[in-house]
A and B are shown apart, each in its own frame.
Chain A
Amino acid sequence: MAEILRVEELTKYFNTKSGLLHAVDGVTFSVEEGKTLGIVGESGCGKSTLGRVILHLHERTSGKILFNGEDISEVNAQKLHALRKDMQIIFQDPYASLNPRMTVGNIIAEPLKNYKLTKSKEESEKKVREMMDIVGLADRTYNLYPHELDGGRRQRIGIARALILDPKLVVCDEPVSALDVSIQAQVLNLLMELQKDRGLTYLFITHNLSVVKHISDDITVMYLGQMVEKAESNEIFRHQYHPYTKALISAIPVPKYNAPDNQIILKGEITSPINVGKSCRFAARCPYAKENCFNTEPVLEEVTKDHFVKCHYVKEINGF
């Protein structure tokens, strides 16, 4: 399979009043066509920013973005317009991401208008109705407004809007976290079906590990803007080597009475991403932290085949 997206040492800093905010810091990964890369991390770890930087909704600070082998780190307005046809995004909040003054039909038709893909109103309406059918929106919702629909249906509008341009890559920015659990599964299954039918590539951003297990081929765990562990999906659920990943996996609720409580409770809050020094960013909360962790930054190294971990003491902790 061909590599569709490659990100090298991607960095995004925000200038804030209290200093430089390291939202995304030196992230490197690649995704193959038709696969799903799950990006997991807690709130504020920079995973959403990462998705937006790739789509040029925020401009990167440094690093490289390659799409289909082509460097798209810096593009002009015209090229960006062409590029967005192939790269789309599904937003987290289906309440905030739909214009409340537009009807469902108009929302889904808007990308077609932007790219002048249809010649007549009738043709565009036909395409929109087809797309609505594909994502499971009833035909009668065509003239309704988003607020007249529930969260699951709204999210389907967002999905239809993203897919009507036939993109190759879709960034799913927590597409189910605002939905009820019963609807989460429906939307996830829809996304997986669409991937199978259309050969889509997903960058699946979430904080919910059970969701990511369901859908991802590979998983990247992020902490404070950096990747701390990266491996194939099944592998990471079997063996977690980074202390943060261990804590994350142990936090997944087990639907079983009397299940042994093995949850690793992390101390403290996520540390500030502003003006970070040269240290392991997880050190302040790490149960295994030693002096070295506060002075030098670890590097991402391959521990077993295709399993990368960013930790000084990965071998000691895991007893290799």
Chain B
Amino acid sequence: MAKKTRDKNQHHSMVGEVWHQFKKNRNAVIGLIVLCIFIIIAVFAPMIAPYGYDDQDAAHTKIAPCREYPFGTDNLGRDVLSRIIHGSRYSLMIGFLAVTISIIAGGILGVLAAFYPKLDNIIMRTMDLFMAIPQMLLAMCIVAALGSSLFNLMLAVGLSSTPQFARVVRASVLSTRGQEYVEAARAIGGSDFNVIVRHIIPNSLAPLIVQATLSMARAIISASALSFLGFGIQAPKPEWGAMLSAGRKYIRQCWWLTVIPGLAIMVVVYALNVVGDGLRDSLDPRLKK
């Protein structure tokens, strides 16, 4: 108890408490900073980028990284740096929105399955069915059926990872529901709503958050892959995966056309992963040091 330096009358908000824990994890903080930088870049892209994403300059094609073009130019003389900056808008948006779609769809299905045994089999077997189809194939089918647009791409990526979310949410709610403190919460006169909101949800959240950050990373990769295959964003829009795909043709002469977008994807995905890990740890008061 001696290590407790907190004032006994001090009240902690949930967010403050989580932030206090999160700060201690250096990797996670670095990840968060990187992520914030990317978000700022995405928001202010037109102001930051030195050129427009489709400004072509026929006199300066395939220029290697130099002072004027830090990331070089592509075969049409477009500045790669500007395209990366503009592309961050698409990639981040796809990541966030696709995961939001799968959290909502998977969350609802998972909670329903956990609470209503009659629905459980129907929902989970259907999810199993979808899990049997490779995620990329499923996403491709959805895009093919709905037509390729930015929204359909996000929908495809989101829906194709819904089964994983449903599974994680269901398992997490089921295990929390059986805990003695949930029984205790009922015994002290808590209503169903109260028990779910105050006891079950906060204790089932951790795996969902980790799953969300990890699949945000995966969503960016999937969207890039779909764009790479030509299912996603169409030229000349500068989505990172699409850039990677376009640069592939020139990989022998112009390494920067593939390496730079690849690095951008890697950095964001890595940042998301460490933030997810840090968030999981800081959300669990038992791991407090």
Total chain B interface residues with beta-carbon distance under 8 A: 29
Q: B12: which A residues are within 8 A, CB to CB?
A: 103, 143
A93 to B178, CA, bound (A): 14
The answer to whether the Cβ of B203 comes within 8 Å of any Cβ in the partner chain is yes
Contact with A along B178-201 (1 / 0, CB 8 A): 011101111111110010001100
Q: A226: which B residues are within 8 A, CB to CB?
A: none
Contact with B along A64-96 (1 / 0, CB 8 A): 000000000000000001001100110101001
Residues of A137-175 at the interface with B, using a CB-CB cut-off of 8 Å, are 139-140, 142-145, 147-148, 158, 161-162, 165
Q: A296: which B residues are within 8 A, CB to CB?
A: none
Stretch at the interface among A109-117, A242-250, A272-280: A109-117
Are B10 and A143 in touch, CB under 8 angstroms?
Answer: yes
The answer to whether the Cβ of B4 comes within 8 Å of any Cβ in the partner chain is yes
A52 to B183, CA, bound (A): 10
The chain A residue sitting closest to B199, CB to CB, is A99
Are B180 and A88 in touch, CB under 8 angstroms?
Answer: no
Are A98 and B285 in touch, CB under 8 angstroms?
Answer: no
Are B180 and A91 in touch, CB under 8 angstroms?
Answer: yes
A145 to B11, CA, bound (A): 12
User: In the complex where A57-B183, A93-B180 touch, is A101 in contact with B202 (Cβ < 8 A)?
Assistant: yes
Are B189 and A85 in touch, CB under 8 angstroms?
Answer: yes
The answer to whether the Cβ of B286 comes within 8 Å of any Cβ in the partner chain is yes
Q: B8: which A residues are within 8 A, CB to CB?
A: 139-140, 142-143
User: In the complex where A98-B181, A143-B12 touch, is A110 in contact with B285 (Cβ < 8 A)?
Assistant: no
User: In the complex where A139-B8, A143-B11, A144-B4 touch, is A96 in contact with B181 (Cβ < 8 A)?
Assistant: yes
Are A143 and B6 in touch, CB under 8 angstroms?
Answer: yes
Partner among B1, B6, B187 whose Cβ is within 8 Å of the Cβ of A88: B187
The chain A residue sitting closest to B184, CB to CB, is A97
- Which of B191, B194, B199, B285 has the most A CB atoms < 10 Å from its CB? B285
The answer to whether the Cβ of A55 comes within 8 Å of any Cβ in the partner chain is yes
A93 to B180, CA, bound (A): 8
B177 to chain A, nearest CB (A): 13
Partner among A52, A102, A110 whose Cβ is within 8 Å of the Cβ of B190: A110
A97 to B182, CA, bound (A): 8
The chain B residue sitting closest to A144, CB to CB, is B4
Are B203 and A100 in touch, CB under 8 angstroms?
Answer: yes
Q: A145: which B residues are within 8 A, CB to CB?
A: 285-286, 288
Contact with A along B55-77 (1 / 0, CB 8 A): 00000000000000000000000
A108 to B285, CA, bound (A): 18
Q: B190: which A residues are within 8 A, CB to CB?
A: 110, 114
Q: A142: which B residues are within 8 A, CB to CB?
A: 8-9
- Which of B191, B194, B198 has the most A CB atoms < 10 Å from its CB? B198
User: In the complex where A93-B180, A97-B181, A140-B8 touch, is A161 in contact with B188 (Cβ < 8 A)?
Assistant: yes
A37 to B9, CA, bound (A): 40
Q: A84: which B residues are within 8 A, CB to CB?
A: 187-189
Q: A100: which B residues are within 8 A, CB to CB?
A: 181, 203, 284-286
Contact with A along B11-32 (1 / 0, CB 8 A): 1100000000000000000000
The chain A residue sitting closest to B187, CB to CB, is A89
A143 to B187, CA, bound (A): 23
Are A91 and B286 in touch, CB under 8 angstroms?
Answer: no
A57 to B186, CA, bound (A): 8
Are A96 and B4 in touch, CB under 8 angstroms?
Answer: no
A77 to chain B, nearest CB (A): 8
Q: B10: which A residues are within 8 A, CB to CB?
A: 143
B172 to chain A, nearest CB (A): 14
Are B188 and A96 in touch, CB under 8 angstroms?
Answer: no
The chain A residue sitting closest to B3, CB to CB, is A148
User: In the complex where A100-B285, A143-B6 touch, is A55 in contact with B187 (Cβ < 8 A)?
Assistant: yes
A144 to B17, CA, bound (A): 12
Partner among A93, A102, A114, A148 whose Cβ is within 8 Å of the Cβ of B188: A114
The chain A residue sitting closest to B10, CB to CB, is A143
Q: A143: which B residues are within 8 A, CB to CB?
A: 6, 8-12
Q: B185: which A residues are within 8 A, CB to CB?
A: 99, 110
A139 to B11, CA, bound (A): 14
In the A-B complex, the 9 residue pairs with the smallest Cβ-Cβ separation, listed nearest first, are A96-B180, A114-B189, A111-B188, A97-B180, A140-B8, A99-B181, A84-B189, A145-B285, A147-B286
18 other A-B residue contacts (CB within 8 Å) besides A97-B183, A114-B191, A147-B285:
A55-B187, A57-B183, A81-B191, A84-B187, A88-B187, A91-B180, A91-B183, A93-B180, A97-B184, A98-B184, A99-B198, A99-B202, A100-B181, A100-B285, A101-B285, A140-B8, A143-B10, A165-B188
15 A–B contacts from the bound complex (CB under 8 Å): A89-B184, A91-B183, A91-B184, A97-B180, A99-B199, A99-B203, A101-B203, A101-B285, A102-B198, A110-B190, A111-B189, A114-B189, A142-B8, A142-B9, A143-B9
